[in-house]
Structure 1
Amino acid sequence: MKHTHSYDAQGKQLCCTEEKKINAQADALIKNKSVKDCCCVTDDHNQLTNDDGHDHANSSDSNVKLFLPAAISLIALLIALILDNYFPQPWFTGWLRIGWYVGAYLPVGLPVLREAVESIIKGDVFSEFLLMSIATIGAFAIGEYPEGVAVMLFYSVGEVFQTLAVKRAKTNIKTLLDQRPDEVTVIHNNQAVTLKAETVNIGDIIQLKAGEKLGLDGELLSQSASFNTAALTGESKPDTKNKGDAVLAGMINLNTVSQVKVTTAYTDSKLSRILELVQNAAAQKAPTELFIRKFAKIYTPIVVVLAVAICVLPYFFLEAYVFSEWLYRALIFLVISCPCALVISIPLGYFGGIGAASKNGILFKGSNFLDTISTIQNVVVDKTGTMTEGVFKVQEVNLKPEVNRYEILKIVNALESQSTHPVATAIHQFIGDIDSTIKLNNVEEISAHGLKADVNGKELLVGNFRLLDKYAVTYDINPATIVYTVIAIAYDHKFAGYITIADSIKEDAQLTVDTLKKLGVNITMLSGDKSSVVQFVAQKLGITNAFGDLLPEDKVNKVKEIKAKHETVAFVGDGVNDAPVVALSDVGIAMGGLGSDATIETADVVIQDDKPSKIPSAITIGKQTKRIVWQNISLAFGVKAVVLILGAGGLATMWEAVFADVGVALLAILNAVRIQRMKF
């Protein structure tokens, strides 16, 4: 479903609030200050996310507009150089010649001069804008007009390329964010009515045509439907859902008209929660990024002082001191030392990493987690919903002979309807409709144990055997002898029997384990499920360290044991019980599809499609991002150091200075963008 827009009386399109919000969210991810604060591209950049809320970054008109000032300056500069060096004209001298070069300078120079003044007013005196302004005005002052124009021209072109690179990086984030249609079609009194998505209530029925995008989380009422989940998960293969399956906002219906029952309010859908998390990602800066920003604030004033020293100090030591010569060297020094390559390429590198991850269905809540995950030594995974499908099916019902099978299953089904756990869903699907005449009192969910309630004045327990032990219910079987997951039942303080449930291993679980081992990462599997089931799954996958029958606090203790060895830990889980251990780990990873809201809120990384193979992908993206960032730091410092020395010694001209600044910045930007083209 496409966005619907409103128009005023003159036919002018009004703003789309949702799109404006999404643009703002994506912009916030770049860094704390806007791109305009780091560029000399005037207000053209702002036009990319203007009042109508649309991103025109990919339109040719917008790109032409960005390059227009530089194109005008380039043409004027080329004409001046031709008249100066190849076809000299007697009239091209004096004030006319100076005026021509000033005219060539203004289209690219005025925005920078304006930014320099604004920065000074805001208290940021030693900005890169001031450096470029001093350097180019100084070049004009000593008669080096062509070089003054050229420096500002190439600086401007570099900033335009930087803007384009940022826009490209934003695309992947926006693809993740812009998944919700503004309006949906709801069936009211057998009539199809178009409503604003945020006004739809839980329980309403949405009609979804082929090609339309789902606006809210819900339950599929139609027998089956195929959905394109690529924008959410990065997975191109259509996902077929059957009646009763959960479908999420952002999925696109591919075939027939389908009906979906809304189960979550618009603002509480998983996608809405993830949007809020994305909004806050900019606050989480990587240590490298924070260091460079602090470094630039100290570095720039020092450079200005050194430039003044280069110009003035030789006067006291040299007999043949020529002011214009040493001023020229000082100006070269200023151009070379401009920290643009560092200040821009490093945040862009991290932003590119976040964008590449989003393209693959992985959400990093901040660039600091890209750094941390690149150093992970241990990955600890939950079993159910992480390495296994989390879709259980009843295998066997084994009840005591004296128990009324029909009656006990009815009350078990009624109690399990109080839980959203996959085990409860499996039991409900096996037994069928819930008997509305059954009255449950004092319903209680006991973490990592099961459910308890009073039925007809008698206590009903449904959960694992630890639950029965907790309430001193005796039983005559050994749970360890049963391979499958076991749901024990006790009624009126007596053991009534058990139900066995099986879960299947995810198809990419083996690939996940193999890839993590190749990366040199240790794997541990923890689960609240019975040990025999955990060991069975671990043996199949080749995981050596696996532990079952764990309470939430036991999982926390296991992770603490690993961290006590001074090793980094990433924990991957999907249940509410996993939230404490996710918070404890160095990097908490949540499965975003089946995962609970609490775990997604606590996690540092969210995997949209629940595929464990995205875990090694996330680690690889972190490693590649860090590698690219350090390549940029080394390149910028290395080239600048060499050319700074040459400039101070009078061996470098403005042209070498331009390469050391703009050239290095362009190379760093291109290197940063490279991660978005990689396949993970």
Structure 2
Amino acid sequence: MAHNDKDKRYTGLQPMEITSPRTAEKPGPQGVLNDACCAPDGHSHDHGHDHDHSHDDTNSYVPTVVSLLLLLSGIALDYFKVAWFEGPLRLVWFGIAYGLVGWKVVRHAATNIARGDVFNEFFLMSLATLGAFYIGEYAEGVAVMLFYVIGEHFQESAVARSRKSIKDLIDNRPKTVHVLRGGLPVETDPKKVKIGEVIQVRAGERVALDGDLISDRSSFNTAALTGEAKPDTKTNGERVLAGMINLDQVADIKVTSAYDNSALSRILKLVEQASSRKAKTQQFITKFAKVYTPIVVYLALALTFLPYFFVGTYVFEEWLYRALIFLVISCPCALVVSIPLGYFGGIGAASRNGILFKGSNYLDQMRKVDTVVMDKTGTLTEGVFKVQEVVVEGMEQEAFLSLLATLESKSTHPIAQAIVDYTGAQSVHSDVGSVEEIPGHGLRGRVLGREVLAGNTRLLDKFGIHYNPALHQVVETIVLVAVDGRYAGYVTIADQVKEDAQRAVRALHAMGVRRVVMLSGDKDSIVQKVASSLQIDIAYGDLLPEDKVARVEELQNQGATVAFVGDGINDAPVISLADVGVAMGGLGSDAAIETADVVIQTDQPSRIATAINIGKKTNGIVWQNIALAFGIKALVLLFGAFGVASMWEAVFADVGVAFLAILNAIRIQRMSFS
């Protein structure tokens, strides 16, 4: 199962590293795809393109365009039988057209032969096209190589678009940072900030670099690390992590790690290496090509020479031509290009929907998921406290809220902040004093000359204030208020369910997911209420991280294929264990994002169903390409062996089928999955 593989790469909260001789040697989109799809031999082949996306520049297409013009004009000159276009001039004309597009392929074939690797795509293309020149079929030799290279351009363009959409999606780090230099804040690129320098983070800004706080104090939203919306007040010398959001005053932070060591930087590296995690279909095609390629070469040799012993009118050039056609048709380009491109197209389509798949194997695994297990806070809920209900007794609600908000304004607790946000700053008075925070109970103070208590039932019990005992049964967090020794009312505070959470659960059930399960560390009464409102099948509350692991293991032991969705650092172990680990990446913790196989950047739970749908659609397109390639190639191979098909039909069976397969593969990027 997938979780066994992940156990090997994840032990504790360590950065996940994926190493591959191919991907480590050749980063970039060409390295990502060509290693998987353009080399049946399994080695990396650089087609001569730079990896800084220079293959997208117009200049990279100039040789191809010139070759095409020479080919078309040469065919026209042949057709009209122009007198001067014959002999050596004709050979040079088509030779230049061939060299412009074919020299790199021939070079790679020669290089591979020198190291003992003969049977690969480059050898097939070189043998077939140079053989065509040998028998005088210059135009056909150029056409085969030209269309092959055009297919490569098409492939690279598709990969570049997919890769760019993925990179644009996840690279949402701050683009600038204020560094103290000469005592003044200087705006600069975070990549240029050195370890030991001091950066200033203003209120509302996201911290771009890890460091130690050197200001006296500052409060930060740590939801990206904890999954909970509780503000964390840091004091001088304490650690501040990239991804936290500064909530109040300007904070000075001494940088302790470089920009490239952030979690999002590591994810970008994972995108570069995503194809090193191949789906089973991809792995099969790679192995198949290694066996298939030498077989077709030997069959071509047999087709060339064996008829000598059986055909009375044997003509070497005729049977060599048939063998060359056979070689061109049999080239596995359509398979080894279009299948990985299909998966990469699926990854690109997912990125357009705010979803990052870290490898094509997870696209395949996601389509098999029959049980989705989700954390509550930050996954199905916003992770932000909000006032739900206000009940007042014996006074006006406006006066009640004003007294309560004024007292709560003296606290940094998230519940206090929720109350102040609800009433508005205009309700907060300056006439407040003698504020006392009673740990585990609440607040006591004087507001506008009146004694106000705000806290839980234990606070009112402590001061002997009577209230309705039924309030003990309220599921949500409750703040009881007493004014001048008399009970005055209460407000309830609860985490807000995400807008599309219910739609997410409905969509999962609609697409055949058997069970939707919720696991949470929140108290069970709240968990059950949320589960009931969302129509979740099974829910468990009061769980520690190890309890979540035990629940997921229990489901797997029952034969379920489990996707676990979470966002906090405490979710990292169970994300690693699940068959598919999914992290909410907008504000998810570094550990959760790094451990996950799939990252939902939009923080929308409905994207889980989208991810499953994309996995299913991608798999369907891949098998369509396999059927298309095998079907057409088998038909034209049969015609070629009997001399019915010419080199032009061979070009279609090879490059034409590859074109159709590539078009089909990139079609998934245009599909709607909403």
- 1:86 corresponds to 2:71: no
In the alignment, what sits opposite 1:404? none
Question: For residues 171 and 276 of structure 1, do their structure 2 counterparts lie closer, same or farther at Cα, with a shift above 3 Å needed?
Answer: closer
Cα separation, 1, equivalents of 2:270 and 2:208: 19
Which AA in structure 1 matches 2:331?
A: C
Q: How far apart are 1:561 and its partner, in Å?
A: 3.2
Tell me if structure 1 keeps the 8 A contact 2:207–2:242: yes
In the alignment, what sits opposite 2:60? 66
In the alignment, what sits opposite 1:168? 161
Cα separation, 1, equivalents of 2:46 and 2:64: 10
Tell me if structure 2 keeps the 8 A contact 1:39–1:159: no
Deviations 1:195-247 (A, max 9, x none): 552437698324699xx99844899x9xxxxxxxxxx9xxxxxxxxx999999
- Which of 200, 207, 224 is the matching residue for 1:205? 200
In the alignment, what sits opposite 1:362? 355
Tell me if structure 1 keeps the 8 A contact 2:357–2:598: yes
Which AA in structure 2 matches 1:117?
A: A
Cα separation, 1, equivalents of 2:351 and 2:372: 21
Higher relative contact order (CA 8 A, sep 6+): 2
In the alignment, what sits opposite 2:114? 121
Q: How far apart are 1:478 and its partner, in Å?
A: 11
Q: Could you say what the CA RMSD is over the residues aligned between the two structures, in angstroms? A: 4.4
- Which of 480, 483, 501 is the matching residue for 1:509? 501
In the alignment, what sits opposite 2:511? 519
- 1:548 corresponds to 2:551: no
Which AA in structure 1 matches 2:502?
A: Q
Tell me if structure 2 keeps the 8 A contact 1:180–1:250: no
In the alignment, what sits opposite 2:666? 673
- Which of 50, 72, 75 is the matching residue for 2:69? 75
In the alignment, what sits opposite 1:139? 132
Tell me if structure 1 keeps the 8 A contact 2:66–2:97: yes
In the alignment, what sits opposite 2:429? none
Cα separation, 2, equivalents of 1:479 and 1:294: 67
Deviations 1:269-317 (A, max 9, x none): 4423433543553432211111111111111111111111111222222
In the alignment, what sits opposite 1:330? 323
Deviations 1:551-586 (A, max 9, x none): 334333332332233221111112333223222211
Gaps of 5+ in 2: 1-23, 216-223, 225-230, 235-239, 390-408, 422-433, 441-468, 480-490
Cα separation, 2, equivalents of 1:260 and 1:329: 76
Cα separation, 2, equivalents of 1:638 and 1:486: 68
Of stretches 34-43 and 132-141 in structure 1, the one that deviates more from structure 2 is 34-43
Tell me if structure 1 keeps the 8 A contact 2:383–2:496: yes
Secondary structure at 1:588 match in 2: strand
Cα separation, 2, equivalents of 1:66 and 1:40: 18
In the alignment, what sits opposite 1:287? 280
Question: For residues 338 and 500 of structure 1, do their structure 2 counterparts lie closer, same or farther at Cα, with a shift above 3 Å needed?
Answer: same
Q: How far apart are 1:268 and its partner, in Å?
A: 5.6
In the alignment, what sits opposite 2:123? 130
Secondary structure at 2:177 match in 1: strand
In the alignment, what sits opposite 2:599? 606
Deviations 1:505-533 (A, max 9, x none): 11110111111122111311122222221
Cα separation, 1, equivalents of 2:512 and 2:638: 42
Question: For residues 324 and 382 of structure 1, do their structure 2 counterparts lie closer, same or farther at Cα, with a shift above 3 Å needed?
Answer: same
Question: For residues 291 and 363 of structure 1, do their structure 2 counterparts lie closer, same or farther at Cα, with a shift above 3 Å needed?
Answer: same
- 1:588 corresponds to 2:581: yes
Secondary structure at 1:358 match in 2: helix
Q: How far apart are 1:384 and its partner, in Å?
A: 1.6
Question: For residues 295 and 649 of structure 1, do their structure 2 counterparts lie closer, same or farther at Cα, with a shift above 3 Å needed?
Answer: same
Cα separation, 1, equivalents of 2:104 and 2:138: 18
Tell me if structure 1 keeps the 8 A contact 2:346–2:615: yes
Which AA in structure 2 matches 1:73?
A: S
Question: For residues 161 and 527 of structure 1, do their structure 2 counterparts lie closer, same or farther at Cα, with a shift above 3 Å needed?
Answer: same
Cα separation, 2, equivalents of 1:504 and 1:426: 13
Question: For residues 274 and 99 of structure 1, do their structure 2 counterparts lie closer, same or farther at Cα, with a shift above 3 Å needed?
Answer: closer
Tell me if structure 2 keeps the 8 A contact 1:206–1:261: yes
Question: For residues 260 and 288 of structure 1, do their structure 2 counterparts lie closer, same or farther at Cα, with a shift above 3 Å needed?
Answer: farther
Deviations 1:364-395 (A, max 9, x none): 12111111001111111111211111123588
Please list, as runs of the form range in 1=range in 2, the aligned pairs for 1:650-661 lying within 5 A after superposition: 650-661=643-654
In the alignment, what sits opposite 1:492? none
Cα separation, 1, equivalents of 2:567 and 2:173: 24
- 1:30 corresponds to 2:33: yes
- 1:385 corresponds to 2:378: yes
Secondary structure at 1:615 match in 2: helix
Tell me if structure 2 keeps the 8 A contact 1:249–1:271: no
Tell me if structure 1 keeps the 8 A contact 2:179–2:197: no
Secondary structure at 1:612 match in 2: coil
Cα separation, 1, equivalents of 2:138 and 2:625: 32
Secondary structure at 1:81 match in 2: helix
In the alignment, what sits opposite 2:332? 339
Tell me if structure 1 keeps the 8 A contact 2:263–2:594: no
Tell me if structure 1 keeps the 8 A contact 2:582–2:597: yes
Question: Normalising by the residue count of structure 2, what TM-score does the alignment of the two structures yield?
Answer: 0.71
Cα separation, 1, equivalents of 2:266 and 2:666: 28
Cα separation, 2, equivalents of 1:182 and 1:674: 33
Secondary structure at 1:92 match in 2: coil
Cα separation, 2, equivalents of 1:259 and 1:35: 53
Which AA in structure 2 matches 1:77?
A: L
Please list, as runs of the form range in 1=range in 2, the aligned pairs for 1:616-635 lying within 5 A after superposition: 616-635=609-628
Of stretches 590-599 and 292-301 in structure 1, the one that deviates more from structure 2 is 590-599
Deviations 1:124-173 (A, max 9, x none): 31121111111112112222222222222222222222222222222212
Cα separation, 1, equivalents of 2:621 and 2:37: 22
Secondary structure at 2:379 match in 1: helix
Tell me if structure 1 keeps the 8 A contact 2:379–2:605: yes
Tell me if structure 1 keeps the 8 A contact 2:382–2:497: yes
Cα separation, 1, equivalents of 2:202 and 2:478: 39
Of stretches 170-179 and 641-650 in structure 1, the one that deviates more from structure 2 is 170-179
Tell me if structure 2 keeps the 8 A contact 1:217–1:270: no
Question: For residues 515 and 484 of structure 1, do their structure 2 counterparts lie closer, same or farther at Cα, with a shift above 3 Å needed?
Answer: same
Secondary structure at 1:199 match in 2: coil
Please list, as runs of the form range in 1=range in 2, the aligned pairs for 1:360-509 lying within 5 A after superposition: 360-392=353-385, 425-426=414-415, 481-484=473-476, 502-509=494-501
Tell me if structure 1 keeps the 8 A contact 2:503–2:606: yes
Which AA in structure 1 matches 2:60?
A: L
Question: Normalising by the residue count of structure 1, what TM-score does the alignment of the two structures yield?
Answer: 0.71
Of stretches 591-600 and 271-280 in structure 1, the one that deviates more from structure 2 is 271-280
Of stretches 615-624 and 352-361 in structure 1, the one that deviates more from structure 2 is 352-361
Secondary structure at 1:652 match in 2: coil
- Which of 612, 631, 650 is the matching residue for 1:638? 631
Give identity over the alignment, percent.
Answer: 54
Cα separation, 1, equivalents of 2:142 and 2:669: 34
Q: How far apart are 1:654 and its partner, in Å?
A: 0.5
Count of equivalent residues = 549
In the alignment, what sits opposite 1:457? none
Q: How far apart are 1:329 and its partner, in Å?
A: 0.9
Question: For residues 550 and 183 of structure 1, do their structure 2 counterparts lie closer, same or farther at Cα, with a shift above 3 Å needed?
Answer: closer
Cα separation, 1, equivalents of 2:647 and 2:636: 10
Tell me if structure 2 keeps the 8 A contact 1:185–1:208: no
Deviations 1:600-654 (A, max 9, x none): 2322112223221211111122122212222211111111111111111211110
Tell me if structure 1 keeps the 8 A contact 2:356–2:598: yes
